[in-house]
Amino acid sequence: MAGTGKAHLRPGADIILNVEDLVVEFKVGRDKIVKAVSGVSFDLVRGETFAVVGESGCGKSTLGKAILQLPKPTSGKVEFLSKDLTKLKGNDLRDMRPAMQMIFQDPVSSLDPRQPVSAVLAEPLKVWNKGNQVEIDAKIDELLFAVNLDPAVVRDRRSYEFSGGQCQRISIARALALDPTLIICDEPVSSLDVSVQAQILNLLQDMKDRYGLTLIFISHDLAVVKMISTRVMVMYLGKVCEVAAPEELYNHTKHHYTKALVASVPIPDPDRRINAGLIQGEPPSPVNPPSGCRFRTRCPMASDLCAAEEPELREVAPDHFVACHHPVVD
């Protein structure tokens, strides 16, 4: 798996983000290079929720940050609203920033503990000169109402006075402040309790409908992704494995890695034990990834071909793409 290719791109649709051959590498030590993202391509149609799924270290968070040019990717193209962000600098890039916002994994540490909520939300509005104090105050109240917090109660409190779920609501309000087109959600619910997780997922869905947002939803939990996304991309060690709509992906899984991910989701039923044995161990180091298909070292179906040749993404069913030499047979 873990292939390259662009068969899954959708030219002609209302594309707001087009990422092609994105590569992100970090230098570590004197001569080692971490290959965090290696030639990933995907596109985003306005209004969809695009999920990026994979284990820790597969490059999904790096991918999200590289889209925002934080830091700039090593090579590749990131075309957002018809502008190639990798070629923009200084104020030109800065002008694009309000349209793309991010929600981080750890809601508590992503808020300044010394600022009251009103200051947290006012900051982006002030930086971008969105009106006088009265208008800004009105906007803050509107944002807090939108995320189901009572402005009168929360405005003057600081982040440490809130639970994780409430902090995540404030982070969502902050991301909404500048009326963005795209929000990148990096594991927004993975540090929350299941009961709170459901509230935040519903809230994201509501905000998306209300403000006409397009979301990139980064997660390691396939069950969460299934609830919320319209298209899913599975990543492994910096490469794309499989791209499909969620129903198709779960019902007709083609990639052995996706199959293992699906099998690992805990099931709240004592009579159905989950199958942890499909893949063992952990991904190899991205400093020295395996040749050919990067998943072959953990894949039950790996052959000589997998070591020699990297699989390319190809369409195996309508709008279902997989990068594997020996895809799962239904």
Radius of gyration of the chain from Cα atoms? 21
One residue of 12, 152, 269, 318 binding other proteins per CB under 8 A: 269
Instruction: In angstroms, give the least distance from the CB of 191 to other proteins.
Output: 8
| 4 binds other proteins, rule: CB under 8 A | no
Is residue 226 part of the contact set for other proteins (CB under 8 A)?
yes
| Total Cβ atoms within 10 A of residue 276 | 10
Segment near other proteins (CB under 8 A); pick from 22-30, 34-42, 79-87, 241-249? 241-249
Least distance (Å) between residue 197 CB and other proteins: 7
Sole binder of other proteins in the list 5, 98, 151, 164 (CB under 8 A):
164
Query: Taking a C-beta distance cutoff of 8 angstroms, is the pair 1, 299 a contact?
Result: yes
The answer to whether residue 274 forms part of the interface with other proteins (CB under 8 A) is yes
Q: Are 40 and 22 a contacting pair, CB within 8 Å?
A: yes
Q: Which stretch binds other proteins (CB under 8 A): 1-9, 13-21, 219-227, 303-311?
A: 219-227
CB neighbour burial string for 228-256, b if at least 16 within 10 angstroms, e if fewer: bbebbbbbbbbbbbbbbbbebbbeebbbb
Is residue 133 near other proteins by the rule CB under 8 A? no
Q: Does 150 bind other proteins (CB under 8 A)?
A: no
Q: Which ranges constitute the DSSP H helices of 52-114?
A: 60-67, 90-96
Q: In the complex, what is the shortest distance from the CB of residue 7 to other proteins, in angstroms, rounded to a whole number? A: 23
Q: Which is nearer to other proteins, 268 or 318 (CB)?
A: 268
Q: Longest C-alpha distance within the chain, in Å? A: 68
- The only residue of 74, 105, 115, 230 in contact with other proteins, by rule CB under 8 A: 230
| Contact call for residue 262 and other proteins (CB under 8 A) | yes
Window of 95-103, 122-130, 243-251, 308-316 that interacts with other proteins by CB under 8 A? 243-251
8 Å CB contact between 177 and 124: yes
DSSP 135-185: HHHHHHHHHHHHTT--HHHHTT-BGGGS-HHHHHHHHHHHHHTT--SEEEE
CB of 103 to other proteins, least distance (A): 18
DSSP strand E in 228-292: where? 231-236, 239-244
Parallel, antiparallel, or unpaired: how do β-strands 32-45 and 15-28 relate?
Answer: antiparallel
Residues near other proteins (CB under 8 A): 55-57, 163-164, 193-199, 201-202, 205, 220-224, 226-230, 245-247, 250, 260-277, 279-282
